Amino acid sequence: TLVQMMFSNTYIEYIYDVFHTYYGGRSRGLVVKAFTRLSAHNYLVNDAQVPNSIFDAMFQEVLKGNIDDEISTMALLLYFSKLERFTDLQRNWIQENVEKFVDAGKLLPFFKKFDTFIRLPQDIFLKTYLVYKSERERQVFVKYSFDTGTRGKQKTERRRMEEVVSGVYVLEFVVFHGERLVYSIEDDPNGNAKIYESDVLKKRTFSDKNMSRFEQINSMLVKQEMRKDRELLEELDVYINTVHLFEENLRIL
């Protein structure tokens, strides 16, 4: 039966066909809810391939109010982020739920795919996001340093990753031009640290007329590297005036 297949430890290739047969008949709500949640977890946390038809069924169950958990919601958002167009119903649902996650401080990088119709925090475009997927409720820490290419000793820090939704951990950084974020992830539920990943992240450069302070600093670093001294001095002057104006306004408040 579908229930037995769901909770077996082995992957059964035709399980989705069995679900569709079950779903099209006199299905029980609890079984449908359990299967769609399992599929959502496998897709979001385990990066499993899940047929589009499963997400169609999942979305219908969400609209009916039968499914409302965070994993299913985030998995649906991830699925929608890979589509090129949406129905009005899907667009409204996406906007409502992305805004709920943003208000709760739960951001994932793929939210940027919706920036054409959702106003997102500027930080999401400026920061580098490190996303790690594992079992839920673990104490996951990252050791990291910024490599600037100099011979000086790099300062290593250690921070805990935030579990945004069950099994998905996130840590954000600001990485300027010329810097490399060198990191290693510790997944340590029982006191025995293991390094699961070690890699280097690079941040792209920005060019925008209305740059934030982070972007201004990044742009100045680029100008310095390219030896564009006149442009560097002009941008430095703008930056200093901007910071001065900001601090003056703070004093007034």
DSSP secondary structure of 154-195 = PPPEEEEPEEEETTEEEEEE---TT-EEEEEEEE-SSS---E
What is the percent of the chain with per-residue pLDDT over 70, rounded to a whole number?
67
| Out of 41-45, 177-181, 190-194, least confident range | 190-194
* Same domain (yes/no): 79, 21: yes
* pLDDT at position 26: 64
Q: How confident is the model at residue 89 (pLDDT cuts 50, 70, 90)?
A: very high
Q: Are residues 94 and 131 in the same domain?
A: no
- Does residue 144 have a pLDDT over 80? yes
> 195-201 and 128-133: which strand pairing?
unpaired
The whole-number average pLDDT for the span 195-212 is 48
pTM of this structure: 0.75
6 and 68 inside one domain: yes
Instruction: Tell me how many domains the chain contains.
Output: 3
- pLDDT per position as a tens digit, 67-77: 999 999 999 99
Instruction: State the residue range of the domain holding 163.
Output: 127-201
- Segment 185-214 shows an average pLDDT of 53
What's the pLDDT score for residue 204?
A: 47
- DSSP annotation of 203 reads P
Helix (H) or strand (E) holding 148: none
pLDDT bracket for residue 3 (50, 70, 90): low
Among 137, 86, 72, 77, residue whose Cα is nearest residue 107: 77
* 106 in the same domain as 10: yes
Helix axes 52-64, 15-24, angle to 10 degrees: 40
Q: Which of 114, 145, 168 is the last residue of a domain?
A: 114
Q: How far apart are CA 224 and CA 100, in angstroms?
A: 41
Summarize pLDDT for 40-69 with one digit per residue, the tens.
999 999 899 999 999 999 999 999 999 999
The reply to whether 190 and 219 lie within a common domain is: no
Same domain assignment for residues 9 and 105: yes
Lowest-confidence pick of 21-25, 128-132, 190-194, 208-212? 190-194
Report the CATH number at residue 160: 2.60.40.10
Looking up tokens 């929608």 gives 80
